[in-house]
């Protein structure tokens, strides 16, 4: 049973526009959430994170929003650039474990 889900397997966005990637989770014990980015033939790399005590965190063009009541988080990329084309994974963990649970991934394509 997938505890972290990304319901959109792919997303296509024009350069300069906003990309919105969504993630849902089922475990109410999760209290820390992360986004990772993955290029082909490489391992995932950390992008941005958010603690459950916040509802928003920004880092440059990337903003993550957390809605705890809906068990939903989203990643906004503004403006989108061709170099953002990659697979994006959301991940979650709870304070009492040492394991990070990943979602199914969304492939983002940014076209000129």
Partner 1 sequence: NAGVTQTPKFQVLKTGQSMTLQCAQDMNHNSMYWYRQDPGMGLRLIYYSASEGTTDKGEVPNGYNVSRLNKREFSLRLESAAPSQTSVYFCASRFPGQFEKLFFGSGTQLSVL
| Binding flag, residue 89, partner 1 (CB under 8 A) | yes
Contact between residue 79 and residue 16 where contact means Cβ atoms under 8 Å apart: yes
- Map residues 41-80 to x or -, x wherever contact with partner 1 holds by CB under 8 A: xxxxxx--x-x-----------------------------
Listed in order, strand segments (DSSP E) in 26-85 are 32-38, 45-51, 56-59, 62-67, 72-77
Using the rule CB under 8 A, give the single segment among 14-22, 62-70, 76-84, 91-99 that binds partner 1: 91-99
Q: How far is the CB of 104 from partner 1 (least distance, A)?
A: 4
Q: β-strand 86-93 against 101-102: which pairing, if any?
A: antiparallel
């Amino acid at each position: 049973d997938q505890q972290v889900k990304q319901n959109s397997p792919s997303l296509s966005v024009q350069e300069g526009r906003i990309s919105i990637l969504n993630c849902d989770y089922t475990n109410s014990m999760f209290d820390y959430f992360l986004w990772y980015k993955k290029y082909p033939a490489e391992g995932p790399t950390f992008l941005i994170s958010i603690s459950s005590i916040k509802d928003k965190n920004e880092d440059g063009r990337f903003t993550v929003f957390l809605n705890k009541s809906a068990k939903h988080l989203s990643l906004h990329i503004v403006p989108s650039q061709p170099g953002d084309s990659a697979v994006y994974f959301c991940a979650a963990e709870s304070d009492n474990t040492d394991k990070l649970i990943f979602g199914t991934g969304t492939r983002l394509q940014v076209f000129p």
